[in-house]
Copies of this chain bind each other. A is one copy, B any other.
Amino acid sequence: MSPTQFFKCLSDDTRLRCVTLLQKEGKLCVCELTTALALSQPKISRHLASLRQCGLLQDSREGQWVYYQISAKLPDWAIPLLNNALAAVEQSDLFKSDLERLQQMINRPDTQMCC
- Chain A residues near B (Cβ < 8 Å): 2-4, 6-8, 10-13, 16, 77-78, 80-81, 84-85, 87-89, 91-92
Contacts and interface: CB of A to CB of B under 8 A. Distances in A.
Interface of A: prevailing SS: helix
Copies of this chain present:
2
Contact of A7 (B2, B16, B92): B16
A88 B78 contact: yes
Contacts of A80: 80, 84, 87
A82 B6 CA distance: 14
A81 B78 contact: no
Nearest to A16: B4
A3 B85 contact: yes
